Structure 1
Amino acid sequence: MQLRKNVSRAVVAVLAAASLAALPCIPAHGEESGQTANVGNVLLGKQPTTNSTNLIDTGMSTVPQVTILNPAAATDGTYADLGDNASTRVNAGAETGGEDNGYAKWDDVYLQYDLGENRSITAVNLYHNGYENAVSIFKQVKVEVSNTADFSQSTVISGPADYEETTATHLAAQKIVPTGGQIDARYVRIWQRGHYIRNTNSSWTGYSNGVQFREIEVLAKLKDSETPPAQEELRNIALGKTPYVYGLAPTNIAAINDGKMDSNYAVHNSLGLHWLQFEYKNTYRIRKIVVKLEPGTYDSIRVSIASTPSSRGTAVYEHSNVTVDKPIVVETDMQGSDVRFTVNRNASSPTKYSEVQIWATGNSYDESRTQYVSPESKYDTLAWSDEFNGDSIDESKWNIIDGMANHGAIYNRDAVGITKDGDNSYLAINTKNYVSTQALKQAVGYDDYGTQLNEKKVTWSSGRLESKNKYSFQNGRMAVRAKVNDSQGIWPAIWMLSQDETGHDEIDVLEYLGQDPWTAWTTNHFGILDKNKQSDGKANTNWEAWSQAFHVYEVEWSPERINWYIDGRSVFTSTRGRDDGRDGMHTRPMFPILETQVGDGWVGDVDYSRQNTKQNSDFLVDWVRVYQRADQDQVRFDDLEGLSDAKQFPAGAYRIGSSAATDGLETVSNGSKQWQNKNNFFYEGQPRYETNRVMTKEDADADQSITWFVPGVKDAHLTAYYQTIYDRHAWSNAANGWHGYSIRSGLNDGANIDFRVETSKDGATWEPAKVSVVDNYIADHPAYARTTFDAYSLPEGTKYVRAVFPNLNGVTYSTAAGRRLPVLHTDVQLAKATFLQSKEHVNDVEQTDTPSGNTGGNAGTSGSQPGVPSGKPSLPSSAVGEQHHAVGLTQTGAPVIWPVALSALLVTIALVIVLCVHSRREAEPHDE
């Protein structure tokens, strides 16, 4: 191995020497900058001051607002268009909307730089911010210089004047040269008043308050002691660099830059016209490109250089009908950060690369990726995690979705697992094409949700994990280290949903559209679909495809704001919907989801020719970690698998059971009838494995209830389902389908069938809680309408929470045709209860002292599967007039005569003594 390395180094050294000898004597820096052997950029590493007083939201909790955003970005030597986080920005004023967006009241603002001493300035180059499909007019640009920091005496070397960008000059530098060719000064001010944007794909135009630069150069004569650093060293920057390959997964890709021009080929397996590219963090002066392909005839070959990875770039070599029998050598002198090779051998052949060399100079050759550093946060205590170090998925933490069709794929258990790579262990969510729907269903199975599969699209197997019903949290920081899979129509995602699936409470930590490999979306969704739903998100670009490496995708969710981070760096913040009643900060617990969706929807279709979409790829997750404050409130959850089953769950566990239920209730599980079928009880577009619900028995008395022991409870949430009106629906453009109407909207005679929430400090005295009702999006009949009942800020000292079912006796509703129908006991069902509990009380255990002699019926069961009867004795209800199963609540309403109680106590003591003696005898050894 060492001999091979030494030989490679020798080859590189010989090639470098030969290339240098062949190159003409040209400036060491770029044509764009004008830097020569005795002129250099003296602004590198400097940071500005400004006169702007307009604050910019950073999205960081420690420094939420600044006047200069990313002050070091414009002097780091990088010109590539890598988005807002790679440019320095100040704001000229407030954006107000309207025709000019407030431009008339904006100020001329500047960035001021100190060169450290007087320099002979020969040029100033301004690399303004840019947009992929737009050009801008940068308003009132002025450059002035001075020998004093206060500019009491200064010289204007350009402007003020508008600088208009065109499609031809898009992203190019605005070059400013002093009169006479040079001027001596120590301080430089660059002025501007926002910019005016014109979209090149539409008629949209508008003003932006941003004064923003990707890079600023101040070129000055260098002193004798100064030499341009590192620029004179020519290197093969392709050596050891893995290119991004668009389309099918390549074979033997390491051979493309191993330093050997031999017949050991790296194969780009996509047939016909396809591309791969070398992507760099730094900007380089590219001098020569060498590419050796498999000998033969090629329909076309194009080599291009760009300053942004999504661009086709400027061609430096472009030919058709090329016969290749030796390496292609391209002499050039162009600045860029991306080199793309677009090759078409022919329509039925892949492209084979022997070697690629890219000879370049640069200010820095450090191409290391950002190392993750945990952001400063008040959520600093690890609360829950999965490192995926076992041999199988920990199903105490995750549900594996099995059989659900979503877009173009069927989620199934075989698509998720643990994969090992040496000492490393990862969750792998596999995405695989079975070509036909029938082959897919035979291979992985299918849970029919009552929907017709699209035979063309649903040919893919994929996977989804979610911690629903097993873990959720309210406020905190969730970080996920992952390596996404990519290509057209592949859609890996890390996100969260509300545990009770209310409204559209959704936080997307990451959505990655595989055909746009340099963009990672971070989005907040809030409001109710078809009512007031909105989204607030950002596309975060990177200098290389996100799928090239592992990254840490992270969200910090607080009541004040939601912050997103990538690799510990703040990328986006959202406060939308916080104060307008749409619950944009999400005041309900949420659970993590990891998945890869395929085709259709937002991501668009896969490539049905099977050339641009990888046919078998993995979304890898290294770990998931949730951080909260050490003393933070904890979420508890009851899935209503049974009634009065509190003792089935250990103290402090996420799952909680009820401690009492009245006799007039029965559990419901999945079955064939409309009021049993799981396909009628769901959150739109989500898995349907919730098969536990509770309803009143037919003709049950009023005020049936379930009671939970939750000391220190802060909030309570009930999720209920209501029958929909069978003949009433309307078309929803927002949902692109029919929406239904709950029977709650058609009740007669002022009837009310809402659930009530009551609280108690001792189990004897009950008080009604203030409840807000959220009507979620209602799917069309026969689906049930999902309704949420929220009780926030419960009284301090509360120990018990009770859900009181509505009295349905005699209640009717009207159909669209005017029929009056009775509300049946099957029409109203409770699906789940979620609580937020003070952490200091989560391990409290209810002290029960169940009197003997009380017997009562257990809650019944309805459906194709048995329920979970409590099997416990019952007590008279404290307020609702039915029998409660053993809960340790104080009895009220029935007088207890003390002689009877004393007799019962004596009988109990005697019985205990007899049992103890019997047990002791049973424990003694017996003779055979």
Structure 2
Amino acid sequence: MMQLTKNVSRAVVAVLAAASLAALPCIPARGEESSQTANVGNVLLGKQPTTNSTNLIDTGMSTVPQVTILNPAAATDGTYADLGDAASTRVNAGDETGGEDNGYAQWNDVYLQYDLGESRSITAVNLYHNGYENAVSTFKQVKVEVSNTADFSQSTVISGPADYEETTATHLAAQKIVPTGGQIDARYVRIWQRGHYIRNTNSSWAGYSNGVQFREIEVLAKLKDSEAPPAQEELHNIALGKTPYVYGLAPTNIEAINDGKMDSNYAVHNSLGLHWLQFEYKNTYRIRKIVVKLEPGTYDSIRVSIASTPSSRGTAVYEHSNVTVGDEPIVVETDMQGSDVRFTVNRNANSPTKYSEVQIWATGSSYDESRAQYVSPESEYDTLAWSDEFNGDSIDESKWNIIDGMANHGAIYNRDAVGITKDGDNSYLAINTKNYGSTQALKQAVGYDDYGTQLNEKKVTWSSGRLESKNKYSFQNGRMAVRAKVNDSQGIWPAIWMLSQDETGHDEIDVLEYLGQDPWTAWTTNHFGILDKNKQSDGKANTNWEAWSQAFHVYEVEWSPERINWYIDGRFVFTSTRGRDDGRDGMHNRPMFPILETQVGDGWVGDVDYSRQNTKQNSDFLVDWVRVYQRADQDQVRFDDLEGLSDAKQFPAGAYRIGSSAATDGLETVSNGSEQWQNKNNFFYGGQPRYETNRVMTKEDAGADQSITWYVPGAKDAHLTAYYQTIYDRYDWSNAANEWHGYSIRSGLNDGANIDFRVETSKDGATWELATVSVVDNYVEDYPAYARTTFDAYSLPEGTKYVRAVFPNLNGVTYSTAAGERLPVLHTDVQLAKATFLQSKEHVNDVEQTDTPGEPTTPDEPTTPSKPAEPTTPTVPSGNTGGNAGTSGSQTGVPSGKPSLPASTVKPFAKAPATTLGKREAAVGEQRHAVGLVQTGAPVIWPVALSALLVTIALAIVLCEHSRREAKSYND
């Protein structure tokens, strides 16, 4: 399938009749002839097709294509609402090969063939094609053919072959085909097509797709007396007992809207002014009459509409302005097919709308509106490995970290926003989202960890919550299912997702992202690659017949080395294999941890409604349970956050956390502090929480070969996350990240130096072998943040019992700044933050028999030696500068001249790294800062500025000479 079929917005099915209105309170509607009258009906319901297509379609359930017809029952289930590709019947006309026509010239005419069971008097065939809202689709060589023999040895073509075009104006309508003479007798129907051509109206993209796909197909024929069941003739009030979806503020007393009583016990839609609520149905009904009783009074406008998909405004069957409503209800007579009835009412700008009663009288072939029951999908991952049912009285913090004080988009995450809520016998995790009205009130209520940034006082007024199992549980490959009920409304953004435990690249799997202003769409997405280098996303918008927030659903991902599959309520919805085979690790060959949160405003979801009418001011994201399944014999993840050294005995056998069994004397731990090399705000992954404060570095005068050793019998993989100092005066603007991008000192090393970590393995703790390591340079934040680098050692030798990380020898190593300074690499410049291992399950409970491993020996070379490539100096785009004004950066890859960025994005100049060890001087940065003020047009009084500059330059000369002497002394 071409990518557009996944990403182009899907549209509503055609409204089959339009209504015109005359007077109040009872208004008959005039509509088109029904597609199903007393003696004509759809005789294709429930039938499944055959095909001549031999092209196999990948269902996402395995690594190879499996079927010739995808979703064979979808086009004849009587459902007209757009539920995405999973609710369409599809065959392929050929292979997509890329190039100018994507292989179209080699495609075949393919058909779907239906058996009606007996010869019927066919009066029409209605084809509901893709219905893309933002595209013009040309369906190639469409033909409808009928016969009384299965082999079509004798047949009649009632339409085509001819192209059929669906535009943005006609994408709602069915292609209607009527036999010559009005009817034809036949038992078999063939619908032919040869793919389709798509032209996106939002861009210049256009191309061929091999898909022959239908949301619904109707074959209308004369019905026999026995085929007109009483249930289709008897009117039912389908609003009875149905809770409508209310857009905007949470309603009050909503159950009164259909309690069967037209009284003063009102259901209140609390949003002021023009707002709507909607009754949404799984089935399609023939709607005959709508009754609505409102609070008496004058209304600016009232609109009642019917649609076949919930996101549509629908076709109005009642629409009036300046309406005076008395004690009698409004009654609308109509004859229209649809599955959604919307009431859009504006009492006035200062008043909510109050509903006494709503009745919707309709007929249908089925009145079963029950939601699908969850059935676990078939999977190789069928053994429960980890879970939380949230049945206690408080959150189990042995499993979860509660993020406290972090600002993200429009909210501050805090402990008080998460908790356990009880509803009778049921117990749920509740992540509360609440508007405090102002940033100051919010900070006073929940606190704030500023991370060194400034809050947007206009947007950050919300409290919200986030749980994550980082450092407490992660897994590699398996199936994670979460039963949850999302909160919604404009700017509210609940999410279920996973990140890499060792914080590599942009490894992220979104099990669910829900944008509150689009309540019928649940996003499932895979993100991979490195930001600002080769990052990419592959996802799908999954639509539902009702707002996802109306009920609990099970959101699920199955993650294997070959592919990632997503399910909702046990139904397969999407698969991704992108990035698997191109070096970007799209299948995430490293452990990941679960995250539950509600984000607020900004970013992808857009702003909340600052008028406080479309955004619920206080709502809960409810989670019933989280469950992770793996194979019974699956390898397990072990993790050390380096809180201490030689602390293995602190952790029980088989625990997720693991401690090191030995460490050399030349190492020391680092915790959060005020210095740049201590501050947790300089050691982080993107916009993620910064509660990790444990790292290890070499001591100032340590010798070579300092190391940490872990006892990990049966170790399969090892991952080290290290942080490196950034070059304080080297940076450029990243459009991808929309921020300043920095450079690790690894990119500026002199004299061919290498300061990478080594990974070594041993079977006995005495004889060591050098492991093959691959190096991942992650996106680099600019100074003072440290750069994050990951060292991966996969497929460790069989029989491995010990793994050790060997620190680089920093003695005598220097790097160059953008200004050409040669600075020594300090022991604080290189820090190890965490170690993650994948271990054979049969050995996770093994206990080391000796206190420490034997004395280290020189490691043997790996069977296939592989030295990481020397880091290269990144090329800085022309026009941006990372050096001082007037300096030439040609020798270090930094061009001279002023930044070409607009003033609003000119980077505030940073101070040079302050050092308590006397190896660098902060005055260099002060000089750079002063020059920067003049460069960027800062409001400086020129005489004062000039005097300050001269004094600073003089001071810098003295201090630079002192720095050179100190550096010489250090190198000696």
TM-score bin, normalised by smaller chain: 0.7 to 0.9
Structure 2 spans left out of the alignment, 5+ residues: 852-875, 907-924
Tell which deviates more after alignment, 531-540 or 55-64: 55-64
Cα drift, residue 402 of structure 1? 0.2
Contact 2:10 2:82 in 1 (8 A): no
- Provide closer, same or farther for how the CA distance between residues 800 and 674 of structure 1 changes in structure 2, counting only shifts above 3 A: same
Q: Which residue in 1 is equivalent to 2:927?
A: 883
Contact 1:659 1:886 in 2 (8 A): no
Contact 1:146 1:186 in 2 (8 A): yes
Instruction: Show CA shifts across 1:381-424 (max 9, x none).
Output: 00000000000000000000000000000000000000000000
1:705, 1:756 → 2: CA distance? 9
Cα drift, residue 196 of structure 1? 2.6
Counterpart pick for 1:563 among 547, 562, 565: 565
Helix, strand or coil at the partner of 2:381: coil
- Provide closer, same or farther for how the CA distance between residues 10 and 340 of structure 1 changes in structure 2, counting only shifts above 3 A: closer
Structure 1 spans left out of the alignment, 5+ residues: none
Q: Which residue in 2 is equivalent to 1:314?
A: 315
Cα drift, residue 914 of structure 1? 68
Contact 2:56 2:65 in 1 (8 A): no
Cα drift, residue 167 of structure 1? 4.3
Cα drift, residue 258 of structure 1? 0.8
Q: Which residue in 2 is equivalent to 1:64?
A: 65
Tell which deviates more after alignment, 21-30 or 766-775: 21-30
- Provide closer, same or farther for how the CA distance between residues 910 and 20 of structure 1 changes in structure 2, counting only shifts above 3 A: closer
Cα drift, residue 178 of structure 1? 1.5
Percent of matched pairs sharing the same residue:
95
Contact 1:664 1:882 in 2 (8 A): no
1:862, 1:354 → 2: CA distance? 76
Cα drift, residue 54 of structure 1? 1.9
Q: Which residue in 1 is equivalent to 2:889?
A: 863
Cα drift, residue 23 of structure 1? 17
Helix, strand or coil at the partner of 1:883: helix
Contact 1:668 1:861 in 2 (8 A): no
Cα drift, residue 772 of structure 1? 0.3
Instruction: Show CA shifts across 1:448-473 (max 9, x none).
Output: 10001000000000000000000000
Contact 2:731 2:882 in 1 (8 A): no
- Provide closer, same or farther for how the CA distance between residues 102 and 682 of structure 1 changes in structure 2, counting only shifts above 3 A: same
Tell which deviates more after alignment, 164-173 or 525-534: 164-173
1:292 aligns with 2:293: yes
Q: Which residue in 2 is equivalent to 1:133?
A: 134
Q: Which residue in 2 is equivalent to 1:190?
A: 191
Cα drift, residue 748 of structure 1? 0.6
- Provide closer, same or farther for how the CA distance between residues 925 and 548 of structure 1 changes in structure 2, counting only shifts above 3 A: same
Instruction: Show CA shifts across 1:816-870 (max 9, x none).
Output: 1111110000000000000000000000000026999999999999999999999
1:821 aligns with 2:823: yes
Cα drift, residue 25 of structure 1? 18
- Provide closer, same or farther for how the CA distance between residues 857 and 161 of structure 1 changes in structure 2, counting only shifts above 3 A: closer
Instruction: Show CA shifts across 1:15-60 (max 9, x none).
Output: 9999999999999999576333222222111100111122222122
- Provide closer, same or farther for how the CA distance between residues 364 and 756 of structure 1 changes in structure 2, counting only shifts above 3 A: same
Cα drift, residue 230 of structure 1? 2.7
Tell which deviates more after alignment, 116-125 or 359-368: 116-125
Helix, strand or coil at the partner of 2:932: coil
- Provide closer, same or farther for how the CA distance between residues 922 and 601 of structure 1 changes in structure 2, counting only shifts above 3 A: closer
1:839 aligns with 2:841: yes
- Provide closer, same or farther for how the CA distance between residues 705 and 871 of structure 1 changes in structure 2, counting only shifts above 3 A: farther
1:196, 1:730 → 2: CA distance? 42
1:626, 1:908 → 2: CA distance? 60
Tell which deviates more after alignment, 894-903 or 843-852: 894-903
- Provide closer, same or farther for how the CA distance between residues 823 and 516 of structure 1 changes in structure 2, counting only shifts above 3 A: same
Cα drift, residue 102 of structure 1? 3.0
Counterpart pick for 1:460 among 455, 459, 462: 462
Instruction: Show CA shifts across 1:638-658 (max 9, x none).
Output: 010000000000000000000
Cα drift, residue 923 of structure 1? 62
Cα drift, residue 134 of structure 1? 3.0
1:10, 1:208 → 2: CA distance? 18
Tell which deviates more after alignment, 590-599 or 173-182: 173-182
- Provide closer, same or farther for how the CA distance between residues 367 and 889 of structure 1 changes in structure 2, counting only shifts above 3 A: same
Cα drift, residue 211 of structure 1? 1.2
Instruction: Show CA shifts across 1:515-552 (max 9, x none).
Output: 00000000000000001000000000000000000000
2:798, 2:891 → 1: CA distance? 40
Cα drift, residue 875 of structure 1? 58
- Provide closer, same or farther for how the CA distance between residues 887 and 190 of structure 1 changes in structure 2, counting only shifts above 3 A: same
2:375, 2:658 → 1: CA distance? 36
Instruction: Show CA shifts across 1:565-613 (max 9, x none).
Output: 0000000000000000000000000000000000000000000010000
- Provide closer, same or farther for how the CA distance between residues 690 and 862 of structure 1 changes in structure 2, counting only shifts above 3 A: farther
Contact 1:306 1:313 in 2 (8 A): yes
- Provide closer, same or farther for how the CA distance between residues 152 and 261 of structure 1 changes in structure 2, counting only shifts above 3 A: same
TM-score (norm: length of structure 1): 0.88
Instruction: Show CA shifts across 1:139-165 (max 9, x none).
Output: 211011112111111111111111223
Contact 1:519 1:541 in 2 (8 A): yes
Contact 1:758 1:768 in 2 (8 A): yes
- Provide closer, same or farther for how the CA distance between residues 417 and 116 of structure 1 changes in structure 2, counting only shifts above 3 A: same
Tell which deviates more after alignment, 629-638 or 84-93: 84-93
Tell which deviates more after alignment, 267-276 or 200-209: 200-209
Contact 1:27 1:37 in 2 (8 A): no
Tell which deviates more after alignment, 866-875 or 657-666: 866-875
Contact 1:848 1:888 in 2 (8 A): no
1:714, 1:731 → 2: CA distance? 39
Helix, strand or coil at the partner of 2:685: coil
1:873, 1:556 → 2: CA distance? 46
Instruction: Show CA shifts across 1:232-272 (max 9, x none).
Output: 12111111100000000000000111111110000000000
Instruction: Show CA shifts across 1:673-709 (max 9, x none).
Output: 0000000000010000110000000010100000000
Cα drift, residue 921 of structure 1? 66
- Provide closer, same or farther for how the CA distance between residues 852 and 439 of structure 1 changes in structure 2, counting only shifts above 3 A: closer
Q: Which residue in 1 is equivalent to 2:773?
A: 771
Cα drift, residue 894 of structure 1? 66
- Provide closer, same or farther for how the CA distance between residues 559 and 337 of structure 1 changes in structure 2, counting only shifts above 3 A: same
Cα drift, residue 94 of structure 1? 2.5
Contact 2:564 2:575 in 1 (8 A): yes
Contact 1:278 1:338 in 2 (8 A): yes
Contact 1:302 1:319 in 2 (8 A): yes
Helix, strand or coil at the partner of 1:644: coil
Instruction: Show CA shifts across 1:759-785 (max 9, x none).
Output: 000011000000000000000000000
Cα drift, residue 181 of structure 1? 2.0
Helix, strand or coil at the partner of 1:731: strand
Helix, strand or coil at the partner of 1:886: helix
Cα drift, residue 225 of structure 1? 3.6
Cα drift, residue 892 of structure 1? 62
Helix, strand or coil at the partner of 1:4: helix
Helix, strand or coil at the partner of 2:348: coil
- Provide closer, same or farther for how the CA distance between residues 557 and 284 of structure 1 changes in structure 2, counting only shifts above 3 A: same
Tell which deviates more after alignment, 534-543 or 5-14: 5-14
2:124, 2:667 → 1: CA distance? 83
Contact 2:880 2:897 in 1 (8 A): no
Contact 2:277 2:344 in 1 (8 A): yes
- Provide closer, same or farther for how the CA distance between residues 59 and 856 of structure 1 changes in structure 2, counting only shifts above 3 A: closer
- Provide closer, same or farther for how the CA distance between residues 678 and 227 of structure 1 changes in structure 2, counting only shifts above 3 A: same
Helix, strand or coil at the partner of 1:874: coil
Cα drift, residue 561 of structure 1? 0.3
Helix, strand or coil at the partner of 1:679: helix
Contact 2:730 2:883 in 1 (8 A): no
Tell which deviates more after alignment, 888-897 or 296-305: 888-897
Cα drift, residue 84 of structure 1? 1.4
Instruction: Show CA shifts across 1:785-811 (max 9, x none).
Output: 000000000000000001000000111
Contact 2:660 2:711 in 1 (8 A): yes
- Provide closer, same or farther for how the CA distance between residues 375 and 145 of structure 1 changes in structure 2, counting only shifts above 3 A: same
1:892, 1:132 → 2: CA distance? 46
Contact 1:813 1:823 in 2 (8 A): yes
2:491, 2:699 → 1: CA distance? 49
